[in-house]
Amino acid sequence: MRFVPTPIPGAFVIELEPIVDERGFFARSWCATEFAAHGLNPRLVQCSVSFNKRRGTLRGMHYQVKPHEEAKLVRCTMGAIYDVLVDLRPASAGYRKWFAVELSVANRRMVYCPEGVAHGFQTLTDDAEVFYQMSELHHPESARGLRWDDPAFGIEWPFAETRNISPADANLR
């Protein structure tokens, strides 16, 4: 795996390093030792899948607060998404900055989202599926979110005209 730093400290785009032959390829997508060597949380306790029927669907921006902060490893396993991180850690050099990257079945990239960073995405295709691995179990009492259109962050989303968002996410403050 190749760990590519982002403008958000501790967040990485992770690219597979395939071993290719005439059958196709083989690549490692997770290694606790490599993650720990890069200073990332190697703990994984839960995996989830998000399936999204329509292009333009927006999910986020979500995170969990102490004592249940979570790191996420996110990969798009079908279709394509515009994946967004927002740094909410006051002591971070990236505080209040956002970063986005396209994740798709074609590019096979992943994003590591550290604790204290909000995560969300907008689908670039119909039938987009996203696979999450988390370092902490879901704790509803620690779940938080920020508005996708909060002017304090100024996130630039690709599809304003086709946005499909849940009432819960639309009502975040």
Q: Identify the three-state secondary structure at position 117.
A: strand
Beta-strand runs (E) in 135-173? 143-145, 164-165
- The pair of structure tokens assigned to 73 is 């490893």
Residue from 62, 63, 112, 119 carrying the catalytic annotation: 62
Q: Is 62 a catalytic residue?
A: yes
Residue from 119, 132, 138, 139 carrying the catalytic annotation: 132
Nearest-CA neighbor of 134 among 49, 18, 54?
A: 49
Phi, psi of 102 (to 5 degrees): -80, 130
How many other C-beta atoms are found inside a 10 Å radius of the C-beta of residue 142? 16
CA distances from 110 to 1, 15, 78, 125 (A): 10, 7, 13, 17
Q: Taking a C-beta distance cutoff of 8 angstroms, is the pair 8, 97 a contact?
A: yes
**How far, in Å, CA of 25 to CA of 12, rounded?**
23
- The residues annotated with a catalytic role in the active site are 62, 132
